[in-house]
């Protein structure tokens, strides 16, 4: 009886996560209805809250896949409650990704859940656990871009369109960057089970720096330009224009002087 109750509590959605969802819903409503006196601040809250929700679901996907793959310790760690405060590295999971968005409009989640890999057998299971997170971002990207490629935005306020386009940009960049096979990112986790023991031992010391190395590369203007040109080409194919994503980031940084071309209303 006690064990069953504990198991249920391990999976009960955290009030912290529900609070973040509430902020996303209320700020999204404010953007949609033009209720906010400061639409930029409402867009900032909406996109940031939605981004944190996607981070929580990204980590939940890792944890849930690990649970079904054999790591039964996942529940006791609190990973199935969607509580971002339960993650092993809150700095990597929440703080840095939000800072990346604020400073550069880059969606880059960090690894956070600690999985006891020794409990899991089979290379395919290990690869799937790593892939589950960025696949969640792919799903988010599909949801965010769907109103554009379904041409379902007639009558939707421009501010909400801009916010949705910027959020789509974040999800697409998160999915692509996380699949890069760099130590510390999920892409490396996908291929790691298939590498020799010697290579894995040689690469292991670099894992803590993989996330920062990728972010550092994106600050190089030439690399940044090539990368975002590719991202915008992909979004353009989904009917999300670069103008919409640019105006979304412009409105998101409400503390900056707004671009007159990106009127919100």
Give the catalytic positions in this structure: 59
C-beta of residue 251 within 8 angstroms of C-beta of residue 159: yes
Q: How many CA atoms lie within 13 A of 127 on its CB side?
A: 10
Residue 178 CA, distance from chain mean position:
9
Nearest to 124 by CA among 68, 164, 197: 68
174 by DSSP, 3-state: which?
Answer: helix
* CA angle (230 as vertex; 229, 233 as ends), nearest 5: 85
What crossing angle do the helices spanning 242-252 and 221-237 adopt, rounded to 10°?
A: 120
CB 50 within 8 A of CB 167: yes
Output the CA angle 231-134-8, nearest 5 degrees.
150
Helices (H) and strands (E) in the chain, counts: 12, 0
Distance CA 188, CA 19 (A): 33
């Amino acid at each position: 009886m006690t064990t069953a109750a504990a198991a249920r509590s391990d999976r009960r959605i955290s009030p912290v996560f529900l609070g973040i969802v509430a902020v996303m819903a209320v700020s999204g409503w404010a953007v949609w209805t033009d209720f906010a006196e400061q639409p930029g601040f409402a867009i900032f809250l909406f996109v940031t809250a939605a981004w944190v929700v996607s981070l929580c679901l990204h980590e939940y996907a890792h944890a849930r896949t690990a649970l079904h793959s054999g790591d039964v310790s996942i529940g006791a760690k609190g990973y199935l409650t969607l509580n971002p405060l339960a993650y092993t590295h809150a700095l990597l999971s929440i703080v840095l990704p939000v800072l990346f968005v604020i400073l550069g409009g880059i969606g880059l989640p960090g690894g956070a859940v600690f999985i006891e890999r020794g409990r899991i057998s089979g290379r395919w299971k290990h690869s799937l656990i790593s892939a589950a997170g960025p696949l969640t971002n792919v799903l988010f990207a599909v949801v965010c871009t769907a109103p554009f490629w379904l041409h379902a935005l007639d009558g939707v306020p421009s501010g909400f369109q801009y916010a949705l386009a910027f959020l789509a940009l974040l999800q697409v960049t998160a999915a692509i960057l996380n699949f890069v096979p760099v130590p510390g990112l999920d892409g490396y986790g996908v291929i790691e089970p298939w590498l020799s023991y010697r290579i894995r031992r040689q690469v292991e010391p670099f894992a803590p720096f993989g996330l920062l190395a990728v972010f550092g590369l994106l600050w190089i203007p030439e690399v940044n330009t090539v990368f975002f040109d590719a991202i915008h080409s992909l979004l353009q194919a989904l009917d999300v224009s670069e103008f919409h994503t640019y105006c979304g980031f412009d409105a998101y940084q409400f503390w900056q002087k707004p671009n007159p071309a990106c009127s919100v209303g």
